[in-house]
A and B are shown apart, each in its own frame.
Chain A
Amino acid sequence: MRYGKLFTAAAAALTLLLAGCSGPDGRAPDDGVIRLRFQSLAWQQESVEANKELVREWNAAHPGIQVDYVQGSWDSVHDQLLTSFEGGEAPDLVHDASDDLADFAYGGYLADLRGLLSARLRADIPARSWETTTFGDGIYGVPFLQEPRVIMANRTLLRQAGVRVPTPEHPWSWAEFRQVARDLTAAMGKGRYAVAWPLKEPVSVSLNLGLSAGGRLFHREPGGRAVLRFEDGDAVVPGTVRAMVDTDRTASPATLGSGGSDTLPGFFGGKYAMVPLGFSYRQQIVRQAPKGFDWVVLPAPAGAGGLAQGVSPQTLSIAEDSPHKKEAARFLDFFLQPRNTVRLARGDWMLPTSTRALADPALHTPAYGWATGAAVARHLSPAPAPPVRGYPEWKDKVATPAFQEYYSGAIDTAELRRRLVDDGNRVLARYQRNMK
């Protein structure tokens, strides 16, 4: 028969599959060795190397506690972890981000780390970073890497326009930033813009940078209930962006729906002089920028709140179902030694939360803007919203469309305020029915 070979091949595959690849029973071999599964989301080559190297070092020094490195993916990590937790098959050590932990923490899937972590590790990370992983009374993750939003700027264009270049000590105010953008756009000529705001994810940008202008949006009432209020400080960042796009024409309207990477070609080509991006985008710039492209990392503008901005650090947690929590905590203590955290931070082009790691000279070199980032790190605060129950729904169903419409000019500030606050409080109320 003509199709015989195909079916023979398929049958052989099936036989192989059933014979050789049947599932394990989920238990470690009975050799007395404790096995921990560590799911890492590191993805950049240097970062993966650093992670694997640290696991190798641990395994060599601890033959009785072996760590299996599993590479996860940021794509769909929430659904993947949720299914694994529900099925009782989660990794012992979980890499994630603090803004993704609330559901897992409140759902009882993550171990409370308060009694597990070493005093050294607790003391080495500032209280404001621990806040990002504190839900209720417990701590459900170790915040270890963080990424502020900075401004990647074309130094040549700044120089040609003769504008003042800000430093962490003397940052631009939001008003000065707007004026600088006007000067730059005028100097750059037609069809070019001082700024490209990549606002594909407008909520985190608006809220996190909003802290610098004294905005919070989320407020806690006595009793712990969260409510939304849109005050003067909350309007500064969205208002500045909207004015730059709409009134001043100093920010490109085309990039409002773009991701950060999408703006880089225009940045390299001189179409945009500045792009507000996460700190780790420096790696892409280093790899992709044309030869001779002169760029600099600037701090985001400051307002009533100084250089403050919200961050959702990357975290390491221990699964509640793990039978070896103490051993997992010992591994975390090793993995997050200051010298190791520096290696992880450099691999991911991010900043450590660890105070001692952050003091490492390697993170204070002017090259690639490390020094600017390290200076900004002192001002980072927890992102205002993620610990609030109902935040994901508010973000997806209320805030994202509202900000998108606002930035595109479809609605005004009053309507933005109404949607964020009135619609938003209705969402939060559903999640907080049992709170007084």
Chain B
Amino acid sequence: MSAFRTSGPARFGQYLALLAYLVFLAFPFLWLISTAFKPAAELGSPHPSWIPRDPTLDNFRQAFDEQPLLRAAGNSLLAALAAALVAVLVATPMAYVLARHRSRLTAAATGWVVVSQAFPFVLLIIPLFLVLKNLRLIDSLAGLTAVYVVWSLPFALWMLTGYVRAVPVELEEAAAVDGAGRLRVLVSVTAPLLGPGIVATALFAFVTAWNEFFFALVLLKTPEKQTLPVVLTHFLGAEGVADLGPLAAAAFLATLPSLVVFAVIQRRITGGVMAGAVKS
């Protein structure tokens, strides 16, 4: 039962405000879709409409003709999937230790994870570039993936720590009492319960890598290796001039995977961050 009761009109007002907020949030995306299907002449219309008067697929055709979108999407997919996998593999055991073993060291580690989020990437990019160069990982998707893993690790760790805390330690203790060893407890008891959290974290890392632009721009030199966000900027000229139709069409397609992924994980992200916050 809710601790807060609201009257009918207040509830109506809340929903109205929520609806207005949703429309506000959805506006850019809906406009993007509308633009993607408008012919060039309609893009400059002084009386813009939500529904294209003369819908066309020309922008999509032009986008695919001018830029290697499929190849770029393949590169993005490869880097994002690999980044998600490695981030989860690295973050899961770390999160377990941080959640289950409380000490000054784990407190310091958690603090460092939070602090590390504060560094702007422009501060990191040149040292990072030099490190990757020494490792001969410049201009390679493997190098880019390594950067994505490091970039998404703090938040992934934070999310997973919440999920681990949400798994009652009593279950592990019960399994141990029944004679299960440490590894058996982790594999048979903890891991299955962490499954949804791990997937949510992996999808978060995937979306972060899928959308990332600047590292990919700086680290990849060969055109064949460029990722989707970098290729999208090829529709942009100096001083913000853009080839609007094809850009909107390509951006619309590039947004779809992120949307799908977020539709899947949005509840679980909240669950992961909030898990363990309140004692049951």
- Which residues of A lie under 8 Å from residue B145 when comparing CB positions? 14, 17
Total A-B pairs, Cβ < 8 A: 167
Could you mark each residue 11-32 of chain A with 1 if its beta carbon is under 8 Å from any beta carbon of chain B, else 0?
A: 1011011100111111000000
Q: Does B181 contact A (CB under 8 A)?
A: no
- How far, in angstroms, from A259 to B238 measured CA to CA in the complex? 11
Contact B142 A17 (CB under 8 A): yes
- How far, in angstroms, from A288 to B81 measured CA to CA in the complex? 40
- Which residues of A lie under 8 Å from residue B202 when comparing CB positions? 6, 10
Contact B214 A266 (CB under 8 A): no
Contact A23 B238 (CB under 8 A): no
- Which residues of B lie under 8 Å from residue A2 when comparing CB positions? 195
Contact A271 B46 (CB under 8 A): yes
Contact B243 A43 (CB under 8 A): yes
Chosen A-B contacts, 23 in total, with CB atoms closer than 8 Å, are A7-B85, A13-B78, A13-B82, A14-B86, A17-B145, A23-B137, A23-B143, A43-B235, A45-B66, A80-B217, A80-B218, A83-B129, A86-B129, A87-B138, A201-B239, A259-B239, A260-B239, A265-B45, A269-B46, A269-B47, A271-B46, A280-B237, A284-B44
Could you mark each residue 89-121 of chain B with 1 if its beta carbon is under 8 Å from any beta carbon of chain A, else 0?
A: 000000000000000000000000000000000
Identify which of B41, B66, B130, B141 contacts A17 (C-beta below 8 A).
B141
* B139 nearest in chain A by CB position: A23
Q: Does B33 contact A (CB under 8 A)?
A: no
Q: Does A106 contact B (CB under 8 A)?
A: no
Contact B43 A288 (CB under 8 A): yes
Contact B136 A261 (CB under 8 A): no
- Which residues of A lie under 8 Å from residue B235 when comparing CB positions? 43
Q: Does B225 contact A (CB under 8 A)?
A: yes
Contact A268 B78 (CB under 8 A): no
Which of A70-78, A242-250, A400-408 has 4 or more CB atoms under 8 Å from chain B?
A70-78
Contact B221 A70 (CB under 8 A): yes
For residues 22 through 49 of chain A, which have their beta carbon under 8 Å from a beta carbon of chain B?
22-26, 37, 41, 43-45, 48
- Which residues of B lie under 8 Å from residue A21 when comparing CB positions? 78, 140-142, 225
Could you mark each residue 35-61 of chain B with 1 if its beta carbon is under 8 Å from any beta carbon of chain A, else 0?
A: 000001101111110000000000000
- Which residues of B lie under 8 Å from residue A13 when comparing CB positions? 77-78, 81-82, 85
Closest 5 A-B residue pairs measured CB to CB? A269-B46, A288-B44, A23-B140, A10-B85, A13-B81
- How far, in angstroms, from A58 to B218 measured CA to CA in the complex? 27
Q: Does B126 contact A (CB under 8 A)?
A: yes
Contact B142 A11 (CB under 8 A): no
- Which residues of A lie under 8 Å from residue B237 when comparing CB positions? 43-44, 74, 280
- How far, in angstroms, from A127 to B58 measured CA to CA in the complex? 45
- Which residues of B lie under 8 Å from residue A280 when comparing CB positions? 237, 241
Contact B40 A87 (CB under 8 A): no
Contact B84 A86 (CB under 8 A): no
Identify which of A11, A79, A291 contacts B85 (C-beta below 8 A).
A11
* B130 nearest in chain A by CB position: A87
- Which residues of A lie under 8 Å from residue B47 when comparing CB positions? 269
- Which residues of B lie under 8 Å from residue A265 when comparing CB positions? 44-46, 48
- Which residues of B lie under 8 Å from residue A75 when comparing CB positions? 233, 236
Contact A23 B43 (CB under 8 A): no
For residues 259 through 278 of chain A, which have their beta carbon under 8 Å from a beta carbon of chain B?
259-261, 264-266, 268-271, 278
Q: Does B242 contact A (CB under 8 A)?
A: yes
- How far, in angstroms, from A10 to B201 measured CA to CA in the complex? 13
Contact A76 B46 (CB under 8 A): no
- Which residues of A lie under 8 Å from residue B198 when comparing CB positions? 3
Q: Does B189 contact A (CB under 8 A)?
A: no
Main secondary structure of the interface of B (DSSP, over half): helix
- Given A10-B81, A73-B233, A83-B126: A264 in contact with B44 (beta carbons within 8 A): yes
Minimum CB–CB distance from A262 to chain B (whole Å) comes to 9
Minimum CB–CB distance from B223 to chain A (whole Å) comes to 6
Q: How large is the interface on A (under 10, 10 to 19, 20 to 34, 35 or more residues)?
A: 35 or more
Q: Does A410 contact B (CB under 8 A)?
A: no
- How far, in angstroms, from A209 to B172 measured CA to CA in the complex? 74
Q: Does B240 contact A (CB under 8 A)?
A: yes
- How far, in angstroms, from A97 to B139 measured CA to CA in the complex? 25
Contact B45 A261 (CB under 8 A): no
- How far, in angstroms, from A25 to B135 measured CA to CA in the complex? 9
Identify which of B48, B136, B223 contacts A71 (C-beta below 8 A).
B223
Minimum CB–CB distance from A319 to chain B (whole Å) comes to 13
Q: Does B122 contact A (CB under 8 A)?
A: yes
Could you mark each residue 60-84 of chain B with 1 if its beta carbon is under 8 Å from any beta carbon of chain A, else 0?
A: 0010001000000000011101101
Identify which of A79, A89, A91, A281 contacts B241 (C-beta below 8 A).
A281
- Given A3-B198, A289-B41: A74 in contact with B85 (beta carbons within 8 A): no
- How far, in angstroms, from A76 to B234 measured CA to CA in the complex? 12
- How far, in angstroms, from A69 to B235 measured CA to CA in the complex? 17
- Given A14-B81, A23-B143, A79-B218: A48 in contact with B66 (beta carbons within 8 A): yes
Q: Does A239 contact B (CB under 8 A)?
A: no
Contact A290 B218 (CB under 8 A): no
Q: Does A84 contact B (CB under 8 A)?
A: yes
- Which residues of A lie under 8 Å from residue B217 when comparing CB positions? 73, 76, 80
Identify which of A37, A71, A200, A271 contacts B240 (C-beta below 8 A).
A200
Q: Does B133 contact A (CB under 8 A)?
A: yes
Contact B85 A22 (CB under 8 A): no
Q: Does A88 contact B (CB under 8 A)?
A: yes
- Which residues of A lie under 8 Å from residue B222 when comparing CB positions? 70
Identify which of A43, A91, A291 contacts B236 (C-beta below 8 A).
A43
- Which residues of B lie under 8 Å from residue A91 when comparing CB positions? 221
* B122 nearest in chain A by CB position: A79
- Which residues of A lie under 8 Å from residue B79 when comparing CB positions? 17
Apart from A26-B133, A270-B46, 16 more pairs, CB < 8 Å: A3-B198, A6-B202, A17-B145, A21-B78, A23-B140, A24-B140, A43-B234, A43-B243, A71-B223, A79-B218, A259-B241, A266-B46, A269-B47, A284-B44, A287-B41, A288-B40
Q: Does A1 contact B (CB under 8 A)?
A: yes
Identify which of B82, B223, B230, B241 contacts A284 (C-beta below 8 A).
B241
- How far, in angstroms, from A26 to B143 measured CA to CA in the complex? 14
Contact A84 B218 (CB under 8 A): yes
- Which residues of A lie under 8 Å from residue B40 when comparing CB positions? 287-288
Minimum CB–CB distance from B119 to chain A (whole Å) comes to 16
Minimum CB–CB distance from A194 to chain B (whole Å) comes to 16
- Given A14-B82, A268-B45: A83 in contact with B218 (beta carbons within 8 A): yes
- Which residues of B lie under 8 Å from residue A10 when comparing CB positions? 81-82, 84-85, 202
- Which residues of A lie under 8 Å from residue B32 when comparing CB positions? none
